[in-house]
């Protein structure tokens, strides 16, 4: 028999830092009179309902409980499982005497129904499920000693793990592993989604994320400004306006792609093809004369312009609505000349790959600009900031904010849980579509083309007085999600061996999924 879960797989889009969720919890208790014990009961009930629904044949449960409120949630799960006739072993990590408040009440209620507690001394082998209730959102230092041993044992076990609120050892704010972290099959997050679940190492540790709001009043969320926004194609796709029946290609924008040094013609070809598939009306690739005649052999819809002398770029770009620069660009004199010329043309730019590396070599070359989208991966971001890759990845939210503050415009920090931050945003956006099959050559070139195409189309629709800068962040957000959703569609045939060209072929179908059906002919 199916069960209705007190949660939703349609996750909220608001994301918060750990301190904010604790503040929301306090507001629910202090201003709205919901006792902490009631919230803990609801959290445990939601978690147990998820256990029963996701693993219906399980009957042997191990709960790893800490000494804080996360452990208290685990005690509720253990009590409910015991009442349902399950075999339950609750292993306490940390000092049981430190339990207090709602967590102590939950432990006492578990003991009152015959539940037993034992200090953690290793995981039993004969269990069907593990419930991770070790460490909550307050963790700020690397996990050590017995805690680290328990987490390592979890990860070595063949039993699936459900993490309560977030996997123990994961930083709720940054998504980084603090020494060692639980690799969960599923995570159920309470009251507010934590931003670290969705970027950095978060997606590696969480498994499928579920949410339980614990029936707190909606008014409590007005007391905190969300720290980040979750975006996906289901949200961004419907925002793209439909095309009028009389639309012509000139209204769909003109993209100019610059790049393709000798030996790297494939990058500009992928970028241009992606721009076409994402709906650009016209796309020209301006590339090195050594291979210009070959670029569009398999994509005749692309226009190609050989460009040996960057001084000729102004003529080539005369009709362009947006310039995408960087795919296969290289860093020689030709590449430097193209970038220098592109920066003077007064067109919005999507800057990627070697164009970013050239900016990093001379960061004052262009200063801060409002009219560009920068799309670095972590290594490129580190060069732009004069930092290490480890520093960028240790707090991707801080890194994207620093990039936007230093260079202006809109910044897309690529990676698992790509981040988008623009000049007018009060919080960054985190894309939760995408899959690891997309970790392959050419994916960034495709993203550059997709974002450029959406900017071009937005310019085609915009009025003459609408500032270009206002178009960039929405186009970048939609482009990141379109790219990720196309990757997910292409991965239906398998993630390993997924090519950028497979993703590009899927873009049209993903766009079609948001289009209104055509009216029947009369």
Which residues partner with 164 through β-bridges?
Answer: 188
Distance, CA of 402 to CA of 381 (rounded, Å): 10
Residue 5, pLDDT score: 34
Q: Which of 207, 226, 245 is the last residue of a domain?
A: 226
Query: What crossing angle do the helices spanning 469-490 and 443-461 adopt, rounded to 10°?
Result: 140
Tell me if 5 is assigned to some domain: no
In 3D, which of 380, 387, 389, 328 has the Cα closest to residue 359?
380
Tell me if 34 is assigned to some domain: yes
Distance, CA of 381 to CA of 349 (rounded, Å): 17
Tell me if 260 is assigned to some domain: yes
Tell me if 521 is assigned to some domain: no
Q: Which of 204, 226, 248 is the last residue of a domain?
A: 226
Residue 220, pLDDT score: 97
Q: What is the CATH number of the domain that holds 353?
A: 3.40.1190.20
Q: Which of 226, 244, 265 is the last residue of a domain?
A: 226
Q: Kindly list the averaged pLDDT for each block of 10 residues, start to end, along the chain of length 522.
A: 42 97 96 97 98 95 96 98 97 89 97 96 93 91 93 96 97 96 98 97 96 97 96 95 89 96 96 98 97 93 96 95 97 96 96 97 86 98 97 97 96 97 88 96 98 95 78 97 98 97 98 74 51
Residue 251 and residue 221 in one domain: no
Distance, CA of 236 to CA of 4 (rounded, Å): 28
Residue 365, pLDDT score: 76
Distance, CA of 359 to CA of 510 (rounded, Å): 33
Residue 152 and residue 212 in one domain: yes
Residue 255 and residue 342 in one domain: yes
Which residues partner with 306 through β-bridges?
Answer: 287
Residue written as token pair 């270009």: 468
User: Contacts from 140-147 at CB under 8 Å and sequence distance 24+?
Assistant: 140/171, 140/178, 141/178, 142/178, 142/179, 143/168, 143/169, 143/178, 143/179, 143/180, 143/181, 144/179, 146/93, 146/94, 146/120, 147/66, 147/93, 147/94
- Contact indicator for 11, 230 with CB cutoff of 8 Å: yes
Residue 214 and residue 337 in one domain: no
Residue 515, pLDDT score: 78
Q: What is the CATH number of the domain that holds 71?
A: 3.40.50.10260
Residue 201 and residue 243 in one domain: no
Residue 4, pLDDT score: 34
Residue 363 and residue 492 in one domain: yes
Residue 243 and residue 183 in one domain: no
- Contact indicator for 323, 258 with CB cutoff of 8 Å: yes
The length of the chain in residues reads 522
Residue 490, pLDDT score: 98
Tell me if 519 is assigned to some domain: no
Residue 386 and residue 502 in one domain: yes
Domain count across the chain: 2
Tell me if 272 is assigned to some domain: yes
- Contact indicator for 216, 34 with CB cutoff of 8 Å: yes
Residue 514, pLDDT score: 83
Residue 195 and residue 314 in one domain: no
Other C-beta atoms within 10 Å of 241: how many?
9
Residue 211 and residue 275 in one domain: no
User: What does 247-260 look like in DSSP terms, one character per residue?
Assistant: --GGGG-EEEEE--
Residue 38, pLDDT score: 98
Domain that holds residue 312: 234-512
User: Cα Rg for the chain, rounded, in angstroms?
Assistant: 26
Tell me if 7 is assigned to some domain: no
Query: What crossing angle do the helices spanning 500-512 and 469-490 adopt, rounded to 10°?
Result: 110
Residue 140, pLDDT score: 83
Query: What is the phi/psi pair of residue 303, to 5°?
Result: -95, 145
Tell me if 3 is assigned to some domain: no
Residue 517, pLDDT score: 63
Collapse the DSSP code of 432 into the 3-class scheme (helix H, G, I; strand E, B; otherwise coil) and give the result. coil
Residue 169 and residue 257 in one domain: no
Residue 210 and residue 271 in one domain: no
Give the list of residues 6+ apart from residue 20 with CB closer than 8 angstroms, or none. 192, 224, 226, 227
Estimate the share of the chain in helix, then strand, then coil, as percent rounded to the nearest 5: 45, 15, 40
């Amino acid at each position: 028999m199916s069960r209705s879960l007190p949660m939703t797989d349609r996750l909220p889009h608001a994301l918060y830092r750990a301190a904010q969720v604790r503040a929301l919890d306090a507001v629910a208790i202090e201003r709205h009179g919901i006792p902490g014990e009631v919230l803990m009961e609801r959290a445990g009930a939601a978690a147990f309902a998820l256990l029963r629904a996701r693993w219906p044949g399980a009957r042997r449960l191990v709960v790893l409980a800490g000494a804080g409120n996360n452990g208290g949630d685990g005690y509720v799960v253990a009590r409910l499982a015991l009442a349902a006739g399950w075999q339950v072993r609750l292993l306490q990590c940390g000092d049981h005497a430190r339990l207090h408040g709602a967590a102590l009440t939950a432990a006492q209620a578990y003991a009152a129904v015959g539940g037993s507690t034992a200090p953690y001394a290793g995981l039993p082998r004969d269990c069907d499920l593990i419930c991770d209730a070790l460490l909550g959102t307050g963790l700020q230092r690397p996990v050590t000693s017995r805690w680290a041993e328990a987490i390592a044992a979890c990860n070595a076990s063949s039993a699936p793990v459900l993490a309560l609120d977030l996997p123990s050892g994961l930083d709720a704010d940054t998504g980084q592993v603090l020494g060692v972290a639980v690799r969960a099959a599923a995570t159920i997050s309470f009251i507010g989604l934590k931003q670290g679940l969705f970027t950095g190492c978060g997606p590696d540790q969480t498994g499928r994320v579920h949410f339980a709001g614990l029936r707190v009043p909606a008014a409590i969320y007005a007391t905190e400004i969300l720290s980040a926004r979750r975006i996906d194609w289901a949200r961004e796709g419907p925002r793209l306006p439909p095309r009028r029946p009389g639309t012509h290609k000139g209204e769909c924008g003109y993209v100019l792609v610059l790049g393709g040094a000798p030996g790297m013609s494939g990058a500009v070809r992928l970028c241009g093809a992606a721009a076409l598939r994402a709906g650009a009306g016209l796309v020209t690739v301006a590339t090195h004369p050594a291979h210009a005649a070959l670029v569009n052999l398999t994509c005749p819809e692309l226009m190609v312009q050989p460009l040996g002398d960057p001084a000729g770029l102004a003529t080539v770009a005369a009709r362009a609505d947006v310039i995408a620069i960087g795919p296969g660009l290289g860093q020689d004199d030709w590449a430097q000349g193209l970038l220098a010329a592109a920066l003077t043309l007064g067109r919005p730019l999507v800057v990627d790959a070697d164009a970013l590396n050239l900016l990093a070599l001379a960061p004052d070359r262009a200063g801060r600009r409002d009219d560009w989208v920068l799309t670095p991966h972590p290594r490129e971001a580190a060069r732009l900031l004069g930092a290490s890759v480890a520093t960028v990845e240790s707090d991707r939210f801080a890194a994207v904010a620093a990039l936007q503050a230093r260079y202006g415009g809109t910044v897309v920090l690529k990676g698992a849980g790509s981040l988008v931050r623009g000049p007018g945003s009060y919080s960054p956006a985190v894309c939760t579509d995408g899959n690891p099959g997309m970790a392959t050559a050419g994916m960034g070139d495709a993203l550059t083309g997709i974002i450029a195409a959406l900017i071009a189309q937005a310019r085609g629709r915009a009025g003459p007085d609408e500032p270009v800068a206002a178009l960039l962040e929405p186009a970048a957000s939609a482009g990141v999600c379109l790219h990720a959703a196309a990757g997910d569609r292409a991965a239906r045939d398998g993630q390993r061996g997924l090519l950028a060209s497979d993703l590009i072929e899927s873009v049209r179908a993903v766009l079609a999924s948001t289009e209104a059906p055509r009216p029947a002919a009369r």
